[in-house]
Amino acid sequence: MPLTALEVLNREFLEVRAKILDLAAALDRLDRAEGSVEDDPRMAALRAALAVLTEREPERAERVQMIFSRPYDVAWQKTLDVASR
């Protein structure tokens, strides 16, 4: 029998809270560091992923994963110089 929403929240709240605090601390360190990374595409990906997290749409994990993934390349072995078996 699947867990109820309250049971999931009770089970995962502290872990999720800790992850959010870790993320906030990392972003604070970036803000305090010398220089800027605002033009870095990785920052754009992080901001896009954070935006997905605030949405109440299904499949957030999949959508976040796709933000950080390369588009599928049928010739990936050649592109990445990987020998086939």
Q: Encoding tokens for residue 58?
A: 């299904």
Question: pTM of the predicted model, to two decimals?
Answer: 0.78
pLDDT in tens, 28-77: 999 999 999 999 999 999 999 999 999 999 999 999 999 999 888 898 88
Identify whether residues 14 and 42 lie together within a single domain.
Answer: no
Contacts of 43 (CB under 8 A, 6+ apart): 37
Q: Which domain holds residue 6?
A: 1-35
Q: What is the mean pLDDT of residues 5-20?
A: 98
Identify whether residues 12 and 30 lie together within a single domain.
Answer: yes
Amino acid at 82: V
Dist. CA 59–CA 12, nearest whole Å: 18
The residue among 67, 41, 42, 37 whose CA lies nearest residue 52 is 67
Identify whether residues 1 and 29 lie together within a single domain.
Answer: yes
Q: What is the pLDDT of residue 83?
A: 84
Q: Confirm whether 82 is domain-assigned.
A: no
Q: What is the mean pLDDT of residues 22-32?
A: 97
CA-based Rg of the chain, rounded to a whole angstrom?
18
Q: Examine the pLDDT at 84 and tell me if it is beyond 90.
A: no
CA 55 to chain centre: 14
Identify whether residues 1 and 31 lie together within a single domain.
Answer: yes
User: Domain tally for the chain?
Assistant: 2
